[in-house]
Amino acid sequence: MIRLRNLRLKNFLSHVQTEINFNDETYVVLGENASGKTSILRGIFFGLFGEDLRKSRLEKLINRRSNSGEIELTFIHRGNEYTVLREFSVRRNTATLFKNGKLEATGVNQVKEVVRNSLGLMPEIFKNTVFVPQGEIVGLLKGSPLDRRKVLNRLLGLEEYEKKHEMIKKERKEIEGFKKHLEASIVGVEKEKEEGKKLEKRIEVLNERIGTLSDEVKNEKGEVERIQKELEKLEEKKNVYTQISTELSSVQLNIGKINEKIKKLNEKLKELKEKKGNILKLRDEIRPLKGAEELSEVVQELKLLTKEHENLRKTLDEKSKLLSEKERIKENLPKLEAELNNLIRKEEELIKNKELLVEKFNDLNRLKDEFTKVTSEIEMKKAQLLKLREEIPEVDLSEFEKLRFNFEEKLSKLKDLQEKLNLIRKEKEELSDRVKLLQKGNSKCPVCNGDLTEEKRLNLIEESKNRLIKVSNEEEKLLNEIEKLNGEIKSLEKEVKLKENLIVKKETLESEIREIEKEIEVLSGKIPKFNQDEIKQLEISISDLEKSRLEVLKRKTELSQEIKSLREFIERQPKEQVLQLKKKLNELEGEISKLKQRAKELKEKYEIPVSNGKELSEFLRKLKEKENLLKRLEGEVSSEGDLRKELSELEEELLRLRERESSLRRRLEELSFEEGLYRAFKKSSKELISQFQKKKEELSKLIGEKAGLEESLKRLKRRIEEGERIKENFLKVRQAVNLLSEVERSMHPGEGFLKFVRTMLLPQIAYYCKEFFSIFDFEFGDLYIDENLTVTFGIPGQGTMSLDELSGGQQVAFALALRFAMARNFSQRMELLILDEPTVHLDAQRRMGLTELLTALKTKLPQMLIVTHDPELEVVGDRVIRVRNHGGSSFVEVGS
């Protein structure tokens, strides 16, 4: 098919800048998971076909640190060298193809056309022959017949047919559902025909009733129109009558209101006439008001001066007494000052005695605090000591020694069992290697290296297998015993540690107790001695001294204040003040006499009949009330002109309204409208019009019902016509379902056309497979592959064998041979084999077989590319490509 020559990846997946040159050799791509190994295979596939192995979108293939990528792939095909250059981004995708250094095609579609049609390279055939995906070697050999058949269909390129079968199956089910819907519709058509007949009968009945009602309405219409016109005229007359009556009522109401207003105005004018007489009388009565107000002011001033005169007289008497007291105070003052000096000396003595007692009291209190502190510490230590003694655990040392001895004994036993297990495992490994060597047909004895006959080799295999089973059983028994012993050891170890912790705790607590006992002994020697009664006596003495000091202080303060007051009193009592007070008193008496004379004059002038202040206040109050009444009456009398003007306007309005009333009465008489006749005519007309209206409504309703029924009948007829067409379509749909069912059966994966294709292709593939199988030095007389990928091998002289009976290496060899046969069947020459993680899901035996097969295949195939994380396959490669990932980027190193 093709052979690789160069691959360059730029910003493709995790490869920022990777370039690998290829020759006709075997390459092992080795690296950890997620290092970027498989990305190399995806790069080869994308470079060749312009699509991803995993069908990822284009933007997912670009390295996250860039917004565009580039792949350049060079390969040999049919002796020519081709180079494909693909550049891609989220918005743009280009491709260029060179043949032997010359431009062959440009553009994605043109390059695709040349690669697929001119070169004959198809992505599906490439995946089914050259490329072996991860885990598919085992996938060919395991699974149910159905699973194996699916793999075979894919390898034969029949997978698309299987997909088409599912599409046809889905389409057939959808059309069947439509067919059922059509069947239901056909059943409904007959019911709709019966419904149509019922509708036609109902329309006939309606037509008869509509005709009768139409004649009646036509005949009654003229009479109803005449009555309606007459009624309209009466309504117009009634409206005019109502309008005039309403206006007349309004005019009469206004006449009544105006008469009432005129009456009230006349009454007010009469009252004003009376009030004019009262005003003259009031003016004469309030004439003394001015004199009374002045007299009131004089009386008030007289009261104030009299009060001031009394206060001055009293002050003068007191001052006179104090002048006589002053001499006596001067004689007593030296005695009081001597007493004050004695009190000051006594206070100082008391303070000094108190300070001495307080100092002694403080010393005793310090001793008391120290005593309390030391005693408290001793009690705390004693409580701590008691608690520690309670916490000391009881430990049986003999039991502990016995427990520890048992623990060490079991540890020793475990060590012996593990040594025994290691020996058994070593023997098991040697037996396994011996069986493998013997099964490969080795003619040398693996034990003594002597020659072996076939019979002896088989016997030795049997003996080794039996011994291997026995050793495996012993290994399992030992493992169970070790597991049980480990459980016992863990339990004992936990118990030993617990006992050890208790012993350590006991020793620690005992040491702490000894330390605390020493501390108590030291503290007991520090307790001070003092007399509690002495402290109490001192407290009483200090309290008594303080009381005495406070009493002395109080008397001293009182005496000082008294002396100060007396000194101030002596200093502020001059004789001049008494003389000034007498002078001011004489002046006040003169003013009081003048005010009394003025009051007498006012009473006589204004004829004020009062003898004291209370009578004057009452007289003045009454005059003020009369003054206020006079002002109010004068205000009311001043509005007489406005009232007479308003009265004149109302009389004019009354005259106008009486004229309007007469005019409205004349119009009512001229109208000649009778309410009783109008109501009787309206009632009879209303009944007649109502009957006529009901007939019209019934007619309209019947016409509407008829129109609705006719519309329903039209729709029903359309549905019946549609039903008839559905009948025709139903027959066509039924034919389509039958045809699709037949196609579905013919394309079924397990039968029909696909079975026929597999039956035709498999004998040829089996022939090629047998031919390629011989490459691996495995020869069989015959080889048969059925459509479930069940393989039967014919062995000359030994009958047949199934695929399961082959060794691991033979099974892997068959899987690869099958791929070569596929390639041959599709006229493809196997020049390249790509395997992605071929050891996944393979056991040790198959991995060993795969390694041997790939080593043998190196001489048969020009080029192999093996991607793996398994270092065992490193021996297969001519060159090793190591891939590592650092910081999210893949780095490649090609070694020899």
Residue ranges for the known binding site for Zn(2+) are 445, 448
| Residue count of the chain | 896
In angstroms, the first-to-last Cα distance of the chain is 26
Residue at token pair 């390459």: 27
DSSP 556: H
Helix (H) or strand (E) holding 74: strand 68-77
Backbone angles phi, psi at 354, to 5 degrees: -65, -40
Query: Positive or negative CA dihedral for 535, 539, 541, 545?
Result: positive
Rounded to an integer, what distance in angstroms lies between the CA atom of residue 530 and that of residue 365? Answer: 9
Q: What type of residue sits at position 51? A: E
Alpha carbon 823 to chain centroid, angstroms = 59
User: Could you give the C-alpha distances from 790 to 373, 793, 804, 845, in angstroms and in order?
Assistant: 100, 10, 10, 22
Phi, psi of 854 (to 5 degrees): -65, -35
Q: Which residues contact 797 (CB under 8 A, 6 or more apart)?
A: none
Supply the DSSP symbol for 354. Answer: H
The dihedral sign for the CA sequence 637, 639, 641, 645: negative
Strand order in the sheet with 3-12: 15-21, 3-12, 68-77, 80-89, 93-99, 102-106
Q: 3-state DSSP: the chain helix, strand, coil percent, rounded to 5?
A: 75, 10, 15
- Residues 864 and 835: their CA atoms lie apart, in Å, by 8
Q: What is the DSSP string of 321-369?
A: HHHHHHHHHHHHHHHHHHHHHHHHHHHHHHHHHHHHHHHHHHHHHHHHH
Q: Which residues contact 785 (CB under 8 A, 6 or more apart)?
A: 762, 765, 766, 769, 791
Tokens representing 85 are 């250059």
DSSP category for residue 116 = I
Which amino acid, residue 783?
A: L
Task: Give 799's strand partners.
Answer: 795
Distances 262 to 251, 309, 531, 660, 677 between C-alpha atoms, Å: 16, 68, 118, 19, 42
Instruction: Please state the residue numbers annotated as binding site.
Output: 445, 448
CA proximity to 855, closest of 877, 836, 834: 877
Phi, psi of 610 (to 5 degrees): -130, 155
Cβ-count burial of 205 within 10 angstroms (0-12 exposed, 13-18 middle, 19+ buried)?
exposed
Structural tokens at position 648: 């004149």
- Tokens read off for 463: 């003996």
Phi and psi torsions of 15, nearest 5°:
-95, 110
Instruction: Say how far apart CA 764 and CA 785 lie, in whole Å.
Output: 10
Q: Strands, E, within 619-760: which ranges?
A: none
Radius of gyration of the chain (CA): 69
CA nearest neighbour of 475 among 412, 550, 514, 424? 424
For 802, the 3-state DSSP assignment is: strand
Residue 232 makes CB contacts below 8 A (sequence gap 6+) with none
Residues 865/828, Cβ–Cβ less than 8 Å = no
Within 13 Å and on the Cβ side, how many CA atoms surround 134? 13
Q: Any bridge partners for residue 835, and if so which?
A: 132, 866
Max distance between CA atoms of the chain, in angstroms, equals 182
Show the CA angle centred on residue 767, arms to residues 794 and 858, nearest 5°. 95
CA distance 40 to 62: 14
Strands 102-106 and 863-868: unpaired
